Structure 1
Amino acid sequence: MEVQNMTGGTGSGEPESTDSLKTFGAVVKAFRERAGLTQEGLALLVRFSPQTVASIEQGRRLPPPDFIERAEEVLDAFGVLRAAAVHLARKPGIAAWFRQWAALEERAISLYTYECRLIPGLLQTEAYSRALFTEQLPPLDDEQIEAQWAARAERQRLLRERPNTAYSFILEEHLFLRRTGGAEVTRELIEHVLETVEARNVEIQIMPLERKTHAGLDGPMQLLETPENQWFAYNEGQRGGLFISDPKEVSVLQMRYARMRSQALSLDDSLSLLKQMRGAL
């Protein structure tokens, strides 16, 4: 399906059971031990880190498609891993409609994000995230809030563990001026963003409040490139997401993103503006 509308099965962002993830992990472990391999040995053969193998076996991480295919062949699993993967539940704390995109994020070599509603999850601080979670409707209980923050914190490791992935963010200036969570939360958020952009593979541009032309008025978007140089896009709304694989549709969003890069402030000017906003708090 080239354009797939993904909505939550329950109409909410509540966590689903992780039993299927744990079961899949146990199956991987059983086949690994049957083959006489350590986690490090399997990691070498499937070309993933030992930490990834351990997380998958413990049911804490959704296995990427490449892992499933490589492990299936390396472990001579008789098709069991492929069959088990069909029934995997999403990660706790991540909305059902975001699952497919989250899996692609983990192996992307380029990830471009434009946001006009809120600071993207990959850049959020814990205090900012919790400010969003506590105001969500219908209300979340404490356990749900903890699960959502844990999932968000887990996603953020991508910025630390994938130094060869190019991350580009275009953020509207008003996202910081809104002061979600209060002045202290916003100051911490800006400092976190400034620290994040120190990495060579992370670029952040600010779209100023006053801009005569703007190519992103249709709303937020995300674009990514896989190791196979395939491009996909994802647009999210109030209660669901739209996964886009049609090359023509992706091309349209790529053109818009490229135009927004020229319309937003330069990298240096964006950092200067962030520092000014931090100083004004």
Structure 2
Amino acid sequence: MRPERPAESDGTAHLFRALGKMIKVLRERAGMSQKELGLATHCGEDLISAMERGVRTPQPEFLELADDVLSAGGLLRATIGEVREALAKARTRHPEWYRGYANLEAAASQLYDYNNQAVPGLLQTEAYARAIFTQRRPLLSEETIEKRVADRMDRQRVFERWPLPTFHFILDESVLMRPIGGRDVHREQLQTLLRIGRLRTVQLQMVPLDRTEQPSLDGPFTMITPKGKQQLAYLEIHGYPRLITEPEEVRVLAIRYGIMQSVALTPGESLAAIEKMLGER
């Protein structure tokens, strides 16, 4: 039997969807916009929207602040115990085949990712992720799609950690040209890549299609360094994952990644290329 995917075997997704609806009702009753609630609770407008739709997890600290801001009378505070339990469950909800990597990613000090197939999960917008899962064959149920999207969005909390890990992404130009989900989804995804690529701890590089040297036609891979430990590598092809810990194999992939960095555009050139794709230059 194929292992269950993240978030498919517990009720945390249902809890966060219900809590998101509650937050939305309280916000609208208070006459506040998502932007106003975000400012009052030190969150971004996009994060408020995602929480209300149940695709991002409301943190206990947010619930404490929002209870006062929205005059909820303790309603949101009363959910904090269940949220803490759900968060603890979420940390171990990944199936065995994925759990080791998921835990490493969440605690990484450095992460390097090369992809020539699709935008990496950590960089995907909600709409892009939904398009990816909707197009999967054999077809997934609507409930499964929503659960997988929620889990993917939750992984992006790694960008909210402090101190922040160091991130480096190399994307083949074909990934950026492929309009998965349609024109609007594609445009939003490119804009998100620009935003994340400008973060202090993120470097994003693009490998142009006209490059004659391409040492990683075998496919995507990730180099990850857990805090205080040796670098590891992770591969996942057609749903078959492999966490590589053998030093010599890791070294070979690290060398390959270094070559990819040398043939790619610089981070500045890469962001300029994305801006050109968006028609901003």
CA deviation map 1:60-90 (0-9, x unaligned): 34587xxxxxxxxxxxxxxxxxxxxxxx5x3
Change (3 A) 1:198 1:219: same
Contact 1:18/1:59 (8 A) holds in 2: no
Q: 1:56 to 1:217 in 2, by over 3 A?
A: farther
1:10 aligned partner = 2
Q: Read off the aligned partner of 1:102 and give its amino acid letter.
A: A
Equivalent position SS for 1:132: helix
Verify the 8 A CA contact 2:7 2:90 in the aligned structure 1: no
For 2:166 and 2:217, locate their aligned partners in 1 and report how far apart those are by CA, in whole Å: 24
Q: Does structure 1 conserve the Cα–Cα contact (< 8 Å) formed by 2:60 and 2:83?
A: no
Note the 1:86-105 alignment, pairs <5 A: 90-91=93-94, 96-105=96-105
Amino acid aligned to 1:185: V
Please, what is the CA RMSD of the aligned residues?
2.6
For 2:107, the equivalent position in structure 1 comes to 107
Q: How far apart in 1 are the matches of 2:238 and 2:201?
A: 30
The code of the aligned residue for 1:186 comes to: H
Structure 1 SS opposite 2:157: helix
Q: What letter matches 2:219 in structure 1? A: G
Amino acid aligned to 2:269: D
User: Following TM superposition, by how much is the alpha carbon of 1:12 offset from its aligned partner in structure 2, in angstroms?
Assistant: 6.3
Please list every run of 5 or more consecutive structure 1 residues that lacks an aligned counterpart in the other structure: 1-8, 21-48, 65-87
Superposed, 1:81-160 pairs within 5 Å as 90-91=93-94, 96-160=96-160
Give the Cα separation in 2 of the matches to 1:232 and 1:14. Answer: 22
Q: Check conservation: 2:101, 2:234, Cα contact below 8 A.
A: yes
Matching of residues 1-281 of structure 1 within 5 Å = 9-10=1-2, 13=5, 15-18=7-10, 57-61=84-88, 90-91=93-94, 96-279=96-279
Q: Tell me the amino acid that sits aligned with residue 215 of structure 2.
A: A
Measured after TM superposition, the shift of residue 54 of structure 1 is 7.0
Residue 96 of structure 1 deviates from its aligned partner by 5.0
Q: Distance in 2 between matches of 1:54 and 1:103?
A: 23
Identity %: 36
Find the residue that maps to 1:243 and give its secondary structure: strand
Equivalent-residue separation in structure 1 for 2:234 and 2:156 (angstroms): 18
Query: What is the CA–CA distance in structure 2 between the aligned matches of 1:150 and 1:228, rounded to whole Å?
Result: 30
Scaled by the length of structure 2, the TM-score of the pair is 0.70
CA distance in 1, matches of 2:127, 2:164: 28
Deviation at 1:97, TM superposition (A): 2.7
Aligned-partner Cα distance in 1 for 2:250–2:242: 12
Question: Match for 1:10: what amino acid?
Answer: R
1:79-115 CA deviation, whole Å, 9 max, x = no partner? xxxxxxxxx5x34xxx653221111011110000000
Distance (whole Å) between structure 2 residues aligned to residue 215 and residue 133 of structure 1: 29
TM-score (norm: length of structure 1): 0.70
* Contact kept? 2:215, 2:259, Cα under 8 Å: yes
CA gap 1:246/1:54 in 2 versus in 1, 3 angstroms:
farther
How far apart, CA to CA, are the structure 1 residues paired with 2:238 and 2:164?
A: 32
1:139 is paired with a residue of what secondary structure? coil
Shift of 1:170: 0.2
Q: CA deviation at 1:222?
A: 0.3
User: Whole-Å Cα distance in 2 between the matches of residues 268 and 14 of structure 1?
Assistant: 35
C-alpha deviation, 1:13, in angstroms: 3.9
CA 1:55/1:246 → structure 2, altered by over 3 Å: closer, same or farther? farther
CA 1:186–1:180: 2 relative to 1, 3 Å: same
Q: How many residue pairs end up in the alignment?
A: 216
